[in-house]
Amino acid sequence: MSTEKYSEPQQSPQTSATATATLGETAPVRSPDETAGQHVVIEEVPRPKLLPPSVAGTAEKLAEVRAEGVTATWHTGVTITAMWSINEIRNAWIHVQNKGWRKIYNGRDGAFMALTGLAGQARQTKRSVTLREEADGMIYEIYLW
């Protein structure tokens, strides 16, 4: 039998977020093009041959919604090229090709985790997505087929 004693950790763990903590406000400062050499290249992934049916008259319906004063914008068939996050409460961003950085909705933990997971899957598989962006510049919905 060994009689070695183990010492206790010397550093105290970081304190966890409390209900009074504020949401993260930091934003990414570099574009994916600047960090291209730092990313892992993923080989082409097989895709399904059938896609979900598109909604007939989507452009007309979107025009009607905008005419009524709703400020949401749908981005269809876009690609997520990068993701960025920092050690702050619910603070993650996605880079949408030809559109720039967009913040992921941070109102609720469950919604934030689901959207971040979908964005990560879309980025890794290089599949196109449909996004709903509100007037505040955050992504509230992600549809990944």
**Full-model pTM:** 0.57
Per the domain annotation, does 13 fall within a domain?
Answer: no
Per the domain annotation, does 42 fall within a domain?
Answer: no
Q: How far apart are CA 127 and CA 122, in angstroms?
A: 5
Per the domain annotation, does 56 fall within a domain?
Answer: no
Per the domain annotation, does 26 fall within a domain?
Answer: no
* pLDDT (tens digit per residue) in 67-124: 555 578 999 999 999 999 999 999 999 999 999 999 999 999 999 999 999 999 999 9
Per the domain annotation, does 7 fall within a domain?
Answer: no
Per the domain annotation, does 18 fall within a domain?
Answer: no
Q: Domain range holding 75?
A: 68-144
What Cα–Cα distance (Å) separates residue 19 from each residue in 35, 85, 114? Answer: 35, 21, 21
Q: How far apart are CA 76 and CA 96, in angstroms?
A: 11
Q: How far apart are CA 137 and CA 104, in angstroms?
A: 9
Query: What's the structural domain count of the chain?
Result: 1
CATH number at residue 97: 2.40.50.50
